[in-house]
Amino acid sequence: MRTQEAPNKAGFGDPRHDLCCSSHSAGERADTLQEAEVNLIPRETCNQPDWYNQTLTENMQCAGHEAGGIDACQADSGGPLQCFNSTLQRFYLFGITSFGQGCAVEKKPGVYTRTSLYYRWIRELQARAASGSGRLSLPLLAIPLLLSAALPLLGA
């Protein structure tokens, strides 16, 4: 049983950097789901000139390690940045893997979409899709369906 509450990322991205293992080709996907513990890094730190130089917005969250070594990588985009609550024994979705510069590079941690800022919007789309009211385009219809599994992770 897990007891840690540190955030972790998961994905099928290039395993050479995720867990410092394997000898796969650059950009190759892992055969098994990779998971790595990362640190949340303040946006002020990530926006420093030698990091991401003021390119991160309030919708973004950095997570990784300042020294590099463990991080999200190619093919991890769209995967979760999650935190485990040991009291409730469940994960909460904190972010969605978005981008980074390279894999596990010093001062270039993974950047994630902050899902908490989109919680109401996701719930509204789900309600509209469930009720059949209003018209939603195919991409908008897919969002609540794809994220419905994530809402329990958001604490809903």
Q: How far apart are CA 110 and CA 100, in angstroms?
A: 5
CA triple 80-84-88, angle to 5 deg: 130
pLDDT confidence bin for 109, thresholds 50/70/90: very high
User: Which residue matches tokens 């098994």?
Assistant: 32
Please state whether the predicted TM-score (pTM) of the whole model is above 0.85. no
Asked if residues 77 and 99 have their Cβ atoms less than 8 Å apart, the reply is: yes
The torsion defined by the Cα of 136, 77, 82 and 105, in degrees rounded to 10, comes to -150
Is the CB of residue 40 less than 8 Å from the CB of residue 60? no
At 25 the pLDDT is 40
Which pLDDT band holds residue 60 (cuts at 50, 70, 90)? very high
Q: What is the mean pLDDT of residues 63-77?
A: 89
> What would the mean pLDDT of 67-96 be, rounded to a whole number?
88
Asked whether 45 and 117 are in contact (CB, 8 A), the reply is no
Share of the chain above pLDDT 70, in %: 68
Structure tokens at 9: 């990322």
Angle at 28 between CA 23 and CA 34, to 5 degrees: 80
pLDDT digit string, tens, across residues 18-47: 433 333 344 567 778 888 889 999 999 999
pLDDT band for position 67 (cuts 50, 70, 90): very high
Q: Which domains are present in the chain?
A: 8-117 (2.40.10.10)
Confidence of residue 99 (pLDDT cuts 50, 70, 90): very high
Q: What pLDDT does residue 20 have?
A: 33
CA 128 to chain centre: 26
pLDDT of residue 1: 37
Residue 147 has pLDDT above 70, yes or no: no
Asked if 80 contacts 22 with a C-beta cutoff of 8 angstroms, the reply is no
pLDDT in tens, 116-142: 999 898 888 888 888 876 666 555 555
Edge to edge, the sheet with strand 8-11 lists: 34-37, 8-11, 80-85, 90-99, 110-114, 60-64, 39-41
